[in-house]
Amino acid sequence: MNDSARLLKQFGLRPKKSLGQNFLIDNRALDKIVRAADVTTDDVVLEIGPGLGSLTQHLAAIARRVIAVEIDSHLIPVLHSQLADWTNVEIVQGDILKIDPATLLREATTYKVVANIPYYITSGIIRHLLEAAIKPSLMVLTIQQEVAERIIAQPDDMNLLAVSVQFYGSPRIVTNIQAGAFYPAPEVDSAVVRIDLDAKPRVAVKSVDTFFSVVKAGFSQKRKQIHNSLVGGLGKPREEIDRLLQAGNIDPKRRAETLTLEEWAGLANLVDQGSGIGK
Ligand code: SAM
C-alpha cells in the first residue's frame, strides 16, 4: 500500500472520481513540477486542489507563501495534519471557480499557480485564471496530455482554449507523467504544461470582449467554414460577415482552426472600428 492509500485509510476516506482525485505519489514527478515553476523564496503560490498535500509540501519547502484551495471538505483535516509544520501554508476550503484569486492574495500583487488539476474542469480553471482581475505571472499545470497538446497547437489545429491561452501567454509542455505516478492511476497519461503570462495580450486588440465574442462565434460550429460559423455565432446577415472577412483578408471558406491570433485580432478590430461591419 502506498503512503496516499494509507493516509486515506487512516482518515476513513476513498479517492473521489467525481472530483478528479488522482493523487501524485511519485517524488520525482513532484520535483519536476516544482522545478518547472522556478519557485523561489520570494514566491506566493496558489495551489488548486492540494488533495493530500504532497505537492503542497514540496512547494512549501521553497515558496514564501502557499495558498491551497481544496473543494473537498473531507480532505481539510488530512491537509491540516499533513501540513501542520508548515507555517507558510494557508488551507482554504472552496471551489476555485467561485473564488476570485485577488481575494486570497492580501498584500501580494503577483503569484504563480502550480496545480495538478482535475481533468473534468481543466478548461474552466484555465479560463477562470486567465480572466481573473489579477492574473498569475505563470501557471504550471498537470493536465491530460491530450489537452496539453491542444493548448500548444498552432494554426490549422487551433481550438478556443488554444486561442485563449495563446492570447494571454506562451504555453509549452515541460514533461510527460505516466499514469503510474498517480494513485489511483488515471486512464490517460498526463503532461505538465507551463504557461508564462504576458503583462499585455500577445496581439493588439481594441477590446478583449470583442476579440473573444468573435473567436467564440468562429468556433461555435465545429469544422464549419468561417463565414457560416460567424453568421450563426454573431447573429449577423451573411452579406455583413462576407464584408468583414473580405476586409480582414480571410477566405470565407477557411475553418476557425486555421486562423492565426493576428487574423482573429484583425477581425475583432474591424468589428470595433465602428465601420458597421459585424456590430
Ligand atoms: N494536488 C494533489 C496531488 O497532486 O496529489 C491532488 C490532485 S487531484 C488530481 C485534484 C484535486 O482537486 C482533488 O483533491 C480534488 O478534490 C480537488 N478539486 C476538484 N475540483 C476542485 C475545485 N473546483 N476547486 C478546488 N479543488 C478542487
Distance 171 CA to ligand 1 centre (A): 22
pLDDT tens digits, one per residue of 26-40:
999 999 999 999 999
Residues in the ligand 1 pocket, defined by CB under 6 Å: 19-24, 48-52, 54-55, 69-72, 75, 95-97, 116, 118, 121
- pLDDT above 80: residue 274: no
Give the residue-averaged pLDDT of 192-197. Answer: 98
| Helix/strand/coil for 92 | strand
CA dist list (Å): 165 to 59, 118, 126, 194, 243: 24, 18, 8, 11, 29
Per-residue pLDDT, 140: 98
Distance 208 CA to ligand 1 centre (A): 30
Q: Using most ligand atoms within 8 A of CB, pick from 21, 45, 83, 129 the residue to mutate for ligand 1.
A: 21
Distance 23 CA to ligand 1 centre (A): 8
Report whether the peptide linkage leading into residue 101 is cis, meaning its omega lies within 30 degrees of zero.
no
Per-residue pLDDT, 276: 52
pLDDT tens digits, one per residue of 235-265:
889 999 999 999 999 999 999 999 999 999 9
- Asked if residue 67 lies in contact with residue 100, where contact means CB atoms within 8 angstroms, the answer is no
Q: Using most ligand atoms within 8 A of CB, pick from 8, 34, 70 the residue to mutate for ligand 1.
A: 70
In the chain, the percentage of residues whose pLDDT exceeds 90 is 90
Per-residue pLDDT, 183: 96
Distance 22 CA to ligand 1 centre (A): 8
Per-residue pLDDT, 223: 79
